[in-house]
Chains A and B, each alone.
Chain A
Amino acid sequence: MQEAGEGSSAVDVKDLRREYVTRSFLKKTTKVTAALDGISLRVARGELFGLIGPNGAGKTTTIKILTTLLSPTSGSAKILDLDINKDMYEIRRRIGIVFGGERGLYNRVTAVENLKYFADLYGVPPSEITGRVKKMIEMVGLEGRENERVEKYSRGMKQRLHIAKALIHDPELVFLDEPTIGLDPGGARDIRNMVRGMKKDGKSIFLTTHNMFEADELCDRVAVISRGKIVALDTPAGLKKSAKDISVIELQTYGADANFVQRIEKIGGVTRVVADLDSERQSIRVQTEFPTEVLPTIVGLAGDVNIIDKSIREPTLEDAYLRLVEE
């Protein structure tokens, strides 16, 4: 695993565990589920750090603990060299949080009213609030719409307002919890540009995402979390390199079904098959160490399946990620 450099850190987590205890009243049983199973990581100041993993892997639990919304069961975590248990309010004052999706905004009031409210809660001096709000509205491109109720905003506009809200008090560290989830490609690109802008301004960023392209494009380093454990931590290039021994065969087909996918999985040398069979034209990705041998075998098995396009390419971050989380 690649470590952050020495010196003052934005995030420093050591052996963090979080268990959820579920008690059944009638059966008098207790079930303990480990959402985080001893994770350790360090994020340097000014670094853009990504945490990727499947649903239920522990991303949200991690971000909740680091933003002081949830207590860990054991282990330690420091944010900007402050202890999450002892310095909760000081940490909150110096971080910004962007929640994904529709959460976190007052829809019945305007963007300006939302920003003024959060500016007050985060202790921006009253004499500076109007100026800060104006600056944030301009930064996220909501000029002209800032006095409309948030309930009239599109998903993309709400997400831009989330970013403005998180930055209203000029935090040193920003947590972004799946900031582009549910956005169209243009909206997602705008948000990614804003994230780049934050990094350029010297802010440390902790990003969780499902989008491998986003992690690859934005992050200095990426940690892969699976079943509550960090299974890899490296630069995007380093993670891709770890999957260098595999190649990916990409197929575009008509008429492929689950049966065809099963037949591909049984071919010797095939390590993983990812298929999207829901649309009229199907997309199948086959991971293998022996692409030149496997591809003709697949073509031979096709039968009634019409293979309209086929190619062999290098592994992407997504291929490396899938390999890591499924191991």
Chain B
Amino acid sequence: MVSRVQAVRAAARMTMKIFFADPQWIIPAIIAPFIFTLVALLLFRNETGPLLLYAVLGGGLMGMWGTTVYGSGTSITFDRFNGTMEATLAAPVPLMWIIGGRVAWNTFIGVINGGIILVIGTLWFRTGISIANPLAFTFATVVTYVSLSSFGLMLATVYVLTRQGGFIMNSLEVPVYIATGTMFPVALLPLATQPVAFILGPTWGIEAIRKAAIAGYTGLATSYWTDIGILAIETAAYFAISFYLFGRVERLAKRNGTLEEY
């Protein structure tokens, strides 16, 4: 079998080239983050200091999550639309690694997206944001990036199975913003929804990012390292589930012979 690292790298590089070849990249990378930031800052416009940073970071994660959901979908549907699905499926490497490379690039764009939100929040709205612990903040962002990639990979299996995956993904985007506490603390949500929040990686990602960025932040009753630990365990679980699901859906798609249909 072909080197998986080589396949992941090739898929990420090709996704990047196609991304920049299409001028529409401005929409997810610049326009959408700007709108997220605008919404966040309008919601918290009368606040100053930590709460404003809380909102800007939440906007950043919304951007990262939105791009992950969009990216996991386009990583399969693009091939169907472009007529390259057969060529992708015929490669001597499991589909999961090719899709993994694509999701990795799309999630990276999400991180850039989050970074742009921070910059817009700082410069455009003159909020004067400062990060309490830049090193811990960077580390939490990297772990959250890996976690979002694994989550995106898991979601991509839905698109392998059905051509209507977009409907499911669109309906997931907003509930996840709410459930993971990007804009409002999870503690404010009804008790029944909290277990959902705890099994979603972005919940722990934003917690760790906020703890690193905001001095004196008290969110969930966990430490920074506990958040990172839970995020790492959930990320490993997402990868394991993706591995299992990709094996299953690839076999199923081969049996049904409908994967390349658009």
Interface residues of A (CB under 8 A from B): 20, 64, 67-71, 89-93, 97, 99, 102-109, 113, 116-118, 120-123, 126, 149, 165
B171, CB-defined interface residue at 8 Å: no
Q: Report which of B7, B9, B17, B251 forms a contact with A109, defined as CB distance below 8 A.
A: B17
Query: B14 to A90, Cβ gap below 8 A?
Result: no
B190, CB-defined interface residue at 8 Å: no
Contacts of A92 in B (CB 8 A): 90-92
Using known A-B contacts A69-B90, A89-B1, A117-B10, determine if residue A106 contacts B254 with beta carbons closer than 8 Å: no
| Stretch of B64-72, B78-86, B145-153, B176-184 that contacts chain A | B78-86
Nearest CB of B to A72, in Å: 10
Closest to A99 in B: B86
Query: B83 to A121, Cβ gap below 8 A?
Result: no
Nearest CB of B to A265, in Å: 39
Query: B6 to A123, Cβ gap below 8 A?
Result: yes
Closest to B78 in A: A106
Q: Which of A20, A67, A103 has the most CB of B within 10 A?
A: A103
Contacts of B83 in A (CB 8 A): 102-104
Contacts of B82 in A (CB 8 A): 106-107
Query: A121 to B254, Cβ gap below 8 A?
Result: no
- Bound Cα distance from A105 to B93, whole angstroms: 18
**Complex A-B: 25 CB contacts under 8 Å:** A64-B257, A67-B90, A70-B257, A71-B254, A89-B94, A93-B2, A97-B86, A97-B90, A99-B86, A103-B83, A103-B84, A103-B86, A105-B87, A106-B18, A108-B21, A109-B21, A113-B14, A118-B87, A120-B6, A120-B9, A121-B7, A121-B10, A121-B11, A122-B2, A126-B6
The majority secondary structure among interface residues of chain B is helix
Query: B254 to A104, Cβ gap below 8 A?
Result: no
Q: A97-B90, A103-B87, A113-B17 are in contact. List 8 more A-B contacts (CB 8 A).
A: A89-B92, A105-B87, A106-B82, A108-B17, A108-B22, A113-B14, A121-B6, A123-B6
Contacts of A90 in B (CB 8 A): 1, 92
Closest to B257 in A: A70
Closest to B91 in A: A121
Query: A71 to B7, Cβ gap below 8 A?
Result: no
- Bound Cα distance from A121 to B21, whole angstroms: 21
Chain B, residues 241-262, CB within 8 Å of chain A (1/0): the string is 0000000000100110100000
Contacts of A103 in B (CB 8 A): 83-84, 86-87
Closest to B18 in A: A108
- Bound Cα distance from A71 to B83, whole angstroms: 21
B112, CB-defined interface residue at 8 Å: no
Nearest CB of B to A173, in Å: 13
Contacts of B46 in A (CB 8 A): none
Q: Report which of A67, A68, A71, A108 forms a contact with B255, defined as CB distance below 8 A.
A: A71
Closest to B251 in A: A71
Contacts of A113 in B (CB 8 A): 14, 17
Q: Which of A91, A104, A107 has the most CB of B within 10 A?
A: A104
Nearest CB of A to B109, in Å: 16
B56, CB-defined interface residue at 8 Å: no
Query: A123 to B3, Cβ gap below 8 A?
Result: yes
Contacts of B11 in A (CB 8 A): 121
B96, CB-defined interface residue at 8 Å: no
Q: Report which of B18, B86, B93, B257 forms a contact with A121, defined as CB distance below 8 A.
A: B93
Nearest CB of A to B11, in Å: 8
Contacts of B10 in A (CB 8 A): 116-117, 120-121
B98, CB-defined interface residue at 8 Å: yes
Contacts of B87 in A (CB 8 A): 97, 99, 103-105, 118, 165
B45, CB-defined interface residue at 8 Å: no
- Bound Cα distance from A126 to B251, whole angstroms: 30
- Bound Cα distance from A106 to B2, whole angstroms: 21
Contacts of A97 in B (CB 8 A): 86-87, 90
Contacts of A165 in B (CB 8 A): 87
B89, CB-defined interface residue at 8 Å: yes
Contacts of A107 in B (CB 8 A): 82
Nearest CB of A to B190, in Å: 36
Query: B13 to A117, Cβ gap below 8 A?
Result: yes
- Bound Cα distance from A280 to B98, whole angstroms: 53
Closest to A101 in B: B83
Contacts of B6 in A (CB 8 A): 120-121, 123, 126
Query: A93 to B257, Cβ gap below 8 A?
Result: no
Contacts of A108 in B (CB 8 A): 17-18, 21-22
Chain B, residues 1-43, CB within 8 Å of chain A (1/0): the string is 1110011011101100110011000000000000000000000
- Bound Cα distance from A263 to B87, whole angstroms: 49
- Bound Cα distance from A104 to B80, whole angstroms: 10
